[in-house]
Amino acid sequence: MDAVHRVRTGARQLEALLKVFADPSIASNLESRADASISRPPLAAGQAEARRATLQPLRAPARDWLRQLKKIRRAAGPVRDLDVRRRLLRAWMRDASGRRGKTRPASPGARRHRSVSSNDASEVALDIPLGWRLRESLAERRDTLAAKLSRTMEHRSLKLERRRQAFFFAARQLSGGDAACPAGEGSLALREFLRAAETMPKLSAANLHRFRKEVKRARYLAESEAADPTARSFAKALKRVQDRIGAWRDWQGLSAEAESALGEPGQPMVLAFRRRAEECAGDAVRAAAKAVSEARRRLAAEMPATRSRGGRRPPGRAGSPAPQGRAAPGAGSAA
């Protein structure tokens, strides 16, 4: 279970970084949006083009490596989802049967889900046999998908290593050996997160999962700046949002599994799971709105209030923060 989680998470972390190299225009687009959000003059066209040209030799190797990573990550995803749903179902069955005790769920993923309400438990206390049927169904599917993941990793391991070596070979060939991400001023993770927020100003069950994927990507970018305490703090804030949305997604997925595996007899259980998903969706939207507001404040504090068209700060302003008390335009709720 933990091994599958590490495979999936590790692939996502690498993908988040490689996408910047695979498409150098990403960083420039992010910076343009950041410029607009805090009324800052944009970079000169020549400077932006120079940044893209610097990373051009890495574009093809990054794309090749990304393709292999995606195949492994997509094979690991369903296995990891089933692991989470099985753990969630076990905790739910303990509550529904009245066996609360003092034992806490073993994994952090299970601990983030609140216990099912007493009303839900009383409604389905007599349906515990259905819960066991569902557990067996999930276990069987998990075994099938885990075997497929093993075959995928065995088949892709050599290709993955070759793509990795090709990328780092290209990186070493760059003039001066500088293959750093073109983050510019301000955190790339902050700007990536705010870009996602701007594309989805109204969060709901229809786009919450898509927003969570963007949150993950921004979080992995923030975690890549491990030496920066501000980046680490922002990564933790994004992880909290990710977990809130993840709880909604897990309950939603479990309700779909119950409906598929149990049919009509499992409807009370399905309805109980759907109610929990609705509760978690509300929590997730509120957490996301708070995170967007905080990200805008952080970005405004990171960047100077003004900058010349050529991208150079006025003399004596190298480390000066944005003036306090000035709100960034459009710093309203994300939902």
Q: How confident is the model at residue 33, as a pLDDT?
A: 46
CB 269, CB 161: distance < 8 Å: no
| Token pair for 283 | 């929590």
Q: Is the pLDDT higher at 231 or at 261?
A: 261
Which of 141, 221, 184 minimizes the C-alpha distance to 50?
A: 184
Sign of dihedral through CA atoms 155, 157, 162, 167?
Answer: positive
Q: How confident is the model at residue 114, as a pLDDT?
A: 46
186 phi and psi angles, rounded to 5 deg: 85, 155
Instruction: For residue 247, name the pLDDT band (cuts at 50, 70, 90).
Output: very high
pLDDT digits (tens, 9 = 90+) for 1-10: 578 888 888 8
Q: Is the pLDDT higher at 151 or at 319?
A: 151
CB proximity list for 308: less than 8 A, separation 6 or greater: 41, 314
CB proximity list for 215: less than 8 A, separation 6 or greater: 193, 196, 238, 241, 242, 245, 288, 291
CA–CA distance, 79 with 157 (Å, rounded to integer): 18
Which of 180, 208, 206 minimizes the C-alpha distance to 284?
A: 208
CB 62, CB 55: distance < 8 Å: no
The conformation of residue 1, written as its DSSP 8-state character, comes to -
Break the chain into its structural domains and give their ranges.
2-173+187-302
Q: How confident is the model at residue 194, as a pLDDT?
A: 87
CB 219, CB 238: distance < 8 Å: yes
CB proximity list for 76: less than 8 A, separation 6 or greater: 4, 7, 8, 11, 149
Q: What is the mean pLDDT of residues 185-211?
A: 82
Instruction: For residue 129, name the pLDDT band (cuts at 50, 70, 90).
Output: confident
CB 266, CB 127: distance < 8 Å: yes
CB proximity list for 36: less than 8 A, separation 6 or greater: none
CB 301, CB 324: distance < 8 Å: no
Q: Is the pLDDT higher at 97 or at 326?
A: 97
- Lowest-confidence segment of 186-190, 229-233, 246-250, 275-279 by average pLDDT: 186-190
Instruction: For residue 88, name the pLDDT band (cuts at 50, 70, 90).
Output: very high
Q: Is the pLDDT higher at 113 or at 244?
A: 244
pLDDT digits (tens, 9 = 90+) for 300-328: 877 654 344 444 443 333 333 333 333 33
| DSSP assignment string, 251-313 | HHHHHHHHHHHH-GGGHHHHHHHHHHHHHHHHHHHHHHHHHHHHHHHHHHHHS-S---TTS-P
- Model confidence, pTM: 0.68
SS (H, E, C) 120-137: HHHHHHHHHHHHHHHHHH
Average pLDDT score over the chain = 75
Q: Which amino acid is at 203?
A: L
Residue 329 has pLDDT above 50, yes or no: no
pLDDT digits (tens, 9 = 90+) for 291-300: 898 888 888 8
Residue 183 has pLDDT above 70, yes or no: no
pLDDT digits (tens, 9 = 90+) for 9-59: 888 888 888 887 877 665 455 445 444 444 444 445 555 566 566 667 888
Q: How confident is the model at residue 300, as a pLDDT?
A: 81
